[in-house]
Structure 1
Amino acid sequence: MFDQVAMKSARTDSVAVLIAGDRPVYRASLRSLLDGVDALEVIDDVDMGPDTVSTIHRLCPDVVILHVAPSSAATVEMITSIAEHCPDTAVLIVSIAHDRETFLAAMRAGVRGYLSRGAPPENLVLAIRIVQSGGLVFDSSTSEWVTEHLAQPARVVKPFPELTDRERDVLELVADGLGTAAIAHQLGLSIKTVRNYLSRIFAKLRLVDRAEAAVRARQAGLGH
């Protein structure tokens, strides 16, 4: 069984999925499973290696399935990198959670969900649709950690620990009163990318609009 948080209605168009993991047999079996599901398209399955992140950055699929251990520092770095370069891509881990603190670090880095490797196929398909539509999904074995994290935000120096560094940069410029085009120019990003970051910020912080975002940011000490 798994728990879902903040589920939104799923899109009706095809969901592009990329599978990454270090076990070819499991990747092949997962691809075979998903290839038979309507409105899901596996656009690639890749081994874990030096080119994995660059491939994900190039394709920016709707969902990345990582068959890895979330307790790996390298996994946390990968999730952070995906969130930075592909803000619309949801990351779903399929593996075994070994370490509470590092698992929560992966969550803060931007992972949208976790399922155990032995999860039923229907749970995996549903989880893909949920994370792609903006929701969170976690296996019952980690649900206590997730509940604890949501109830008691981690004690960190930086405000809004659920945001990535780049998302925090964007929010700070919103607090300064900059518009989308000005933010894009200052950070060297496209306007579309800035809009994607804003959407992620609004979703993570449950904000309604830019005005509320600016107020919350200034209350937290962001802006000049």
Structure 2
Amino acid sequence: MNEAIPIRVLVADDHPLFRQGVQTMLETAEDMRWIGEATTGEEAVRLAEELQPDVILMDIRMPGMSGMEAAQRIRAARPEVRILMLTMFRDDASVLTAMKAGARGYILKDASKDEILRAIRAVAGGEAIFGPHVASRVIDFATRQEYGIEALKELTPREKEVLALLIEDAANSDIAAALGLSAKTVANHVSSILNKLQVRDRHEAARLLKGNRD
């Protein structure tokens, strides 16, 4: 009798205790196998290529490259990989941005063990799945109008300064020098801007800003 091939799971999250908890959870599931962990978006992209997981549990906010950008790059290079966002962010912008980046699911970290395992199985099988709280917010969000204009209003003054430089195609290092910030702080601002504007990358953010200036 042939045994079913287990779902190969890579976890990308910068919190070691959370990664340990997920590893322990996966070890209790006979149809899943923990194959590795990433602590940054860049590492997630690299390990996705090296380890060839079936599913990646991806946090949104990590040092360096955000989970959103990592998801987009992974999906572009390996479209067969299923990405499940597992995060504490329940805001509308994060959910819609994750969908645009190619995530097949979006659930919250406070979901139960059974909910998380069920979500992994669902996305591995080709389904799209969202936690109950997230799903209701997606429906509400989809009915809103003129989102881009409203999202721009949500940016902090500093984020607006960063976005103004992004529209000029400034690199993070140039923005850091211009605003007297560290490269890490700029990266965090860029990640926040992309989440709030529900866009995949800085180029789409720039197009959105130009569109609302016209």
Q: What TM-score, normalized by structure 2, do the two folds share?
A: 0.59
What SS class does the counterpart of residue 121 from structure 2 fall into? Answer: helix
Alignment check: 8 A CA contact 1:92 1:113 kept? yes
For 1:99, the equivalent position in structure 2 comes to: 91
Specify whether residues 141 and 20 from structure 1 end up closer, same or farther in structure 2 by C-alpha distance, changes over 3 A only. Answer: same
**Selected match of 2:10 from 18, 37, 41:** 18
For 1:168, the equivalent position in structure 2 comes to: none
Question: Which structure is higher in helix share?
Answer: 2
The 5-angstrom pairing of residues 68-147 of structure 1 reads 68-69=60-61, 74-147=66-139
The one-character-per-residue Cα deviations of 1:36-76 (angstroms, maximum 9, x if unpaired) are 21110111122125433111122221000013349x98222
The one-character-per-residue Cα deviations of 1:164-220 (angstroms, maximum 9, x if unpaired) are xxxxxxxxxxxxxxxxxxxxxxxxxxxxxxxxxxxxxxxxxxxxxxxxxxxxxxxxx
For 1:37, the equivalent position in structure 2 comes to: 29
For 1:148 and 1:83, locate their aligned partners in 2 and report how far apart those are by CA, in whole Å. 27
Specify whether residues 49 and 97 from structure 1 end up closer, same or farther in structure 2 by C-alpha distance, changes over 3 A only. Answer: closer
Specify whether residues 125 and 143 from structure 1 end up closer, same or farther in structure 2 by C-alpha distance, changes over 3 A only. Answer: same
Structure 2 unaligned spans of 5+: 149-214
What SS class does the counterpart of residue 104 from structure 2 fall into? Answer: strand
Q: How far apart are 1:17 and its partner, in Å?
A: 0.4
**Selected match of 2:57 from 52, 57, 65:** 65
Specify whether residues 38 and 54 from structure 1 end up closer, same or farther in structure 2 by C-alpha distance, changes over 3 A only. Answer: same
Alignment check: 8 A CA contact 2:59 2:67 kept? no
- Count of residues paired in the alignment: 144
Alignment check: 8 A CA contact 1:69 1:97 kept? no
Structure 1 unaligned spans of 5+: 1-11, 157-224
Aligned amino acid, residue 132 of structure 2: S
Aligned amino acid, residue 83 of structure 2: V
Q: What TM-score, normalized by structure 1, do the two folds share?
A: 0.56
Q: How far apart are 1:123 and its partner, in Å?
A: 1.0
For 1:90 and 1:14, locate their aligned partners in 2 and report how far apart those are by CA, in whole Å. 14
Specify whether residues 110 and 149 from structure 1 end up closer, same or farther in structure 2 by C-alpha distance, changes over 3 A only. Answer: farther
Q: How far apart are 1:148 and its partner, in Å?
A: 5.0
RMSD: 2.8
Specify whether residues 69 and 146 from structure 1 end up closer, same or farther in structure 2 by C-alpha distance, changes over 3 A only. Answer: farther
Specify whether residues 40 and 21 from structure 1 end up closer, same or farther in structure 2 by C-alpha distance, changes over 3 A only. Answer: same
Alignment check: 8 A CA contact 1:112 1:136 kept? yes
For 2:108 and 2:83, locate their aligned partners in 1 and report how far apart those are by CA, in whole Å. 14
Question: Percent of pairs identical after alignment?
Answer: 24
